[in-house]
Structure 1
Amino acid sequence: MDYRSNVTYITFGGHVEVHKYGYLYFVIMFTVFILVISSNVTIVGIIMIHKNLHEPMYIFIAALLINSILFSTVIYPKLLIDFLSEKQIISYPASCLFQWFLYYWLAVSDFFLLSVMAYDRYVSICNPLQYPTIMQEKKVNIFLISAWILPACQTSGAMLLSAKKEICTFHLKGILCNSTVQTLHCVRSTILNIYGLFLLVTFLFLPVLFILFTYSRILVVSYRCRGVRGRAAQTCLPHLLVLINFSCLTTYDILLPRMELDSPKIVRLIMTLQVLIYHPLFNPIIYGLKMRRIYDHLKKLFCRMHKVGGSSPGCPMFHVEVSLSKTPNP
């Protein structure tokens, strides 16, 4: 604690040989940061610009990618500064708990959006005639607002409970403020543990069960109707890949630090970096390559870039469907 300024500082102890390899870490993570921002912004921009992508499924994808942009801008700048700093510290509770709040707010929001996307696919494939009535613009807006406001309200409760707890330890076994913040408390709070379990059930287990249920129904319908198999595979497979990737990373982030396993520091660092890299970078790649309409617009974009640069004057123009349909037909 700095008594002169009356500010408490927490030291990050999860870095490995940061004084020796700090510049290497910085170059690698800065490159990843640029890739994450550019790829997500590109897909979001394509969805916003092209009218044939102004459908619920693509709007929810854009919202998910916006979360990735916000997540990266919250975590990466502080991480890059720490790589070049002599001491890896953060103020508590202001900066640390604020980082913790944004970290889990966006994670919970992602699960909410993935659930809504699963519901959208379920209605589109299992009840196509009712799709325009059910997924109206007003309901889509309600889903989007709820995906950001409800997680913020729930997560802020846990943040306020943590802020009131006295801390006796000023050393975190990590490189950012995540669930390991509870190890700083002098006494473990029963209320905070119960509240954390409530959040885990309501915003992780229940959404995952709902998503699995909806996709099982889609699988049954696809098996019975050959005409929808290709469409179901094209639209549902990317969502399932993102869900599996995000669920595994979130489970590690929540459970393993609480188990306080005495794992090597390098292992903890690698696993934490996977949480920071895979999900924000994985999403735009999956949706950009696996969603047919987005992929077609990406090809046209790169074609135009090559033409402007003069490197590929014979680049063919790709046909992109521009008709706006009420029922998604990727």
Structure 2
Amino acid sequence: MDNSTETLFFLQGLNETMSTKHAYFAVTLLAYLFTILVNLTLIVTIILEKTLQDPMFIFLCSLCVNGLFGACTLYPKILVDLLSDFSVTSYAACLSQMLAVYTYIICEVNTLTVMAYDRYIAICKPLNYHSIITPQKVMKLVLITWLLSACESAFAMGLVARLPLCGFSIDKIYCTVWAVVKLSCVDTIINNIYGTAFSVFHFLQIILILISYVNIVKASMRSQEDRNKFMQTCLPHLISLTNFTVAVLFDLMYARYGSSTRLQALSNFMSLEYLVIPPILNPLIYGLKMNQIRRRIFRSCSQKTDVLK
């Protein structure tokens, strides 16, 4: 098959929801709007409040920007599909969505890694924190996080784009690399090798984060202040990391070894989970757990209420 913009893929993931598509549309739209609201609230709060210009909050702002990016790669297409009789996407649109989704996934892992590094220095080496985590280094880390994520995803899409395809049906709600690779007419060993290296590298990142947290927990036992710092800044990070890692690992393992006909509903849920839950969960748990952000948001809300009165 010639991979051109005229090639159309049929997404099968929403077939079971067509009888109640209007209810799903309403829920999906509300989730999308709520995701935009909570992330923009945190982003704007951090940007406007000068007391929230510490590295930790800048990394959190980057995490929320990535959450918005991830939501915008998923929700609009699903909303359109829920109003249509068939879920169809062009070859070019499919590649673009895969590029955006995998950039989001990689950037999420990279940002969580950088945030773990920041917390490790803050708690384990507090006297050297400001000499190690300088404003220039913060900007470099944020920039490198996004550039590496985009480059890694672009290379993966290049490997997919070179494959001739012999099928049109994708058993997912949105386009994924493994679903498209399975449609290839030729051997995909290069894609498999890259995918394995990709998975191992980012799994090692997770291991490094966990090792850093072993040291953070040990260091936080030194004083009540360190324990409070751990509960306020590290616990939300661990929740975000655990939720995201479990969902991605399940989807990755199911895509490689799972059946395309069994547990379809569970597969759909887990493939959506890391695109839907983290963008909502991250700003909520950080906003509620971190006193500086919570106080600033509540103060802004009270000021707006006074103005309306």
TM range (shorter): over 0.9
Deviates more, 1:45-54 or 1:15-24: 15-24
Deviates more, 1:55-64 or 1:94-103: 94-103
Q: What is the alpha-carbon root mean square deviation over aligned residues?
A: 1.8
Describe the shift of the 1:2–1:125 C-alpha distance in structure 2 as closer, same or farther (beyond 3 A).
closer
Contact 1:16 1:265 in 2 (8 A): no
Residue 214 of structure 2: aligned partner = 216
Deviates more, 1:224-233 or 1:191-200: 224-233
SS at match of 1:90: strand
Q: Percent identity?
A: 35
Q: For residues 107-256 of structure 1, what are the structure 2 equivalents within 5 Å?
A: 107-178=105-176, 179-202=178-201, 204-256=202-254
Q: Which runs of 5+ in 1 are unaligned?
A: 311-330
Contact 2:248 2:271 in 1 (8 A): no
Residue 28 of structure 1: CA displacement?
0.7
CA–CA separation in structure 2 for the residues paired with 1:269 and 1:134: 43
- Please identify the structure whose Cα radius of gyration is greater: 1
CA–CA separation in structure 1 for the residues paired with 2:169 and 2:147: 32
Residue 222 of structure 1: CA displacement?
1.5
Deviates more, 1:231-240 or 1:44-53: 231-240
TM-score when normalising by structure 1: 0.88
Q: Which runs of 5+ in 2 are unaligned?
A: none
Residue 231 of structure 1: CA displacement?
1.4
SS at match of 1:7: coil
CA–CA separation in structure 2 for the residues paired with 1:47 and 1:260: 42
Contact 2:67 2:279 in 1 (8 A): yes
In the alignment, residue 308 of structure 1 is paired with which amino acid? V
Contact 1:14 1:268 in 2 (8 A): no
In the alignment, residue 78 of structure 2 is paired with which amino acid? L
Residue 110 of structure 1: CA displacement?
1.0
Runs of 4+ in 1 over 4 A off after TM superposition: none
Describe the shift of the 1:153–1:273 C-alpha distance in structure 2 as closer, same or farther (beyond 3 A).
closer
How many pairs align?
Answer: 307
In the alignment, residue 57 of structure 1 is paired with which amino acid? M
TM-score when normalising by structure 2: 0.94
Q: Establish whether residue 267 from structure 1 lines up as the match of residue 266 from structure 2.
A: yes
Q: For residues 20-39 of structure 1, what are the structure 2 equivalents within 5 Å?
A: 20-39=19-38
Residue 227 of structure 1: CA displacement?
3.6
In the alignment, residue 70 of structure 2 is paired with which amino acid? F
CA deviation string 1:287-325 (max 9, x = no partner) = 111111111111112212332343xxxxxxxxxxxxxxx
SS at match of 2:182: helix
Structure with the larger helix share: 2
CA–CA separation in structure 2 for the residues paired with 1:244 and 1:188: 35
In the alignment, residue 304 of structure 2 is paired with which amino acid? M
Residue 16 of structure 1: CA displacement?
3.6
Residue 266 of structure 1: CA displacement?
2.8
